[in-house]
Structure 1
């Protein structure tokens, strides 16, 4: 009974997630790493490549260089190059870094792509208004898994 009431509450408030999906507030970090898949399914490296290079989604290339995405112009130099990321970090570490880099690197400037609370002054997009109940993570759980699957393939 309690479970069905909780499920109905989540559905009615627009926070319905699949049974295997981990909500942003429920992600378990251990030394910055996240062992459990956030979506409950494997990531798709081809989709992850699209997210990393898409300036409207992950926009990772705004801060990082990726040789594999040489066709994407104006790559950044603020963050470390992503070439070799699959050799430098494990899948679990990459998942933690993409979800919330500050859990592993407290001084990081990297945005938290899978976080919905604990911000200092979040806003509703670019409106200057306070967030409403539609305030969600920058990337979905599956998009995080896709990005991680792509990053694991990047070897030097």
Structure 2
């Protein structure tokens, strides 16, 4: 009897808990390059965003962008715009769109799409025969995008 009561309480708690599933890269709704809704449904963590932006195997944003708020990071790039004041220049939705796929905002940019899984040009087959088949995973997952955006929102003039 106690077991049934406990299971009933667990079921009630689960039913009351909202379930949020992350937006798949192919289901993202861009409005003039911006993404209004969170991709993960969970607020971003600025500290995690800073780590993603400075980690080679993740976003590595500092390879192209300078960020004065990160003086401890050596060899910052200068081929992309400096990110100082990013939160003053763009809204959160615009930043989310730029990080997810900058090509939706800036036609012809060389910034990679960090949340894209299809539509890539794959010259590897013509040259090596080793281009991957099918959809590729995104460079960053939905929560990582939210974390980077949360950090960028701290960069004010």
Q: TM-score range by the shorter chain?
A: 0.7 to 0.9
How far apart are 1:56 and its partner, in Å?
Answer: 1.7
Q: Contact 2:118–2:136 (CA<8 Å) still a contact in 1?
A: no
Report SS of the residue matched to 2:113: coil
In structure 2, the partner of 1:146 is: 147
Q: Rate the CA distance shift 1:42–1:108 in 2: closer, same or farther, 3 A.
A: same
Q: Contact 1:122–1:131 (CA<8 Å) still a contact in 2?
A: no
In structure 1, the partner of 2:122 is: 121
Task: Give the TM-score, by structure 2 length.
Answer: 0.81
Unaligned runs of at least 5 residues, structure 2: 1-18
Cα-to-partner distance string for 1:52-75 (whole Å, 9 max, x where unaligned): 111221010010000111111111
Q: Rate the CA distance shift 1:20–1:82 in 2: closer, same or farther, 3 A.
A: same
In structure 2, the partner of 1:80 is: 81
Residues in 2 aligned to 1:134 and 1:31: alpha-carbon distance in whole angstroms:
25
Q: How many correspondences in the alignment?
A: 136
Task: Give the TM-score, by structure 1 length.
Answer: 0.82
Report SS of the residue matched to 2:69: helix
Q: 1:30-49 to 2 correspondence within 5 Å?
A: 30-49=31-50
Residues in 2 aligned to 1:37 and 1:134: alpha-carbon distance in whole angstroms:
23
In structure 2, the partner of 1:97 is: 98
Residues in 2 aligned to 1:129 and 1:45: alpha-carbon distance in whole angstroms:
37
Q: Contact 1:116–1:137 (CA<8 Å) still a contact in 2?
A: yes
How far apart are 1:19 and its partner, in Å?
Answer: 4.3
Structure 1 runs of 4+ with >4 Å offset: none
Q: Rate the CA distance shift 1:40–1:106 in 2: closer, same or farther, 3 A.
A: same
Of structures 1 and 2, the larger Rg is shown by 2
Report SS of the residue matched to 1:142: helix
Unaligned runs of at least 5 residues, structure 1: 1-17
- Are 1:106 and 2:104 counterparts? no
Q: Rate the CA distance shift 1:122–1:20 in 2: closer, same or farther, 3 A.
A: farther
Q: Contact 2:117–2:135 (CA<8 Å) still a contact in 1?
A: no
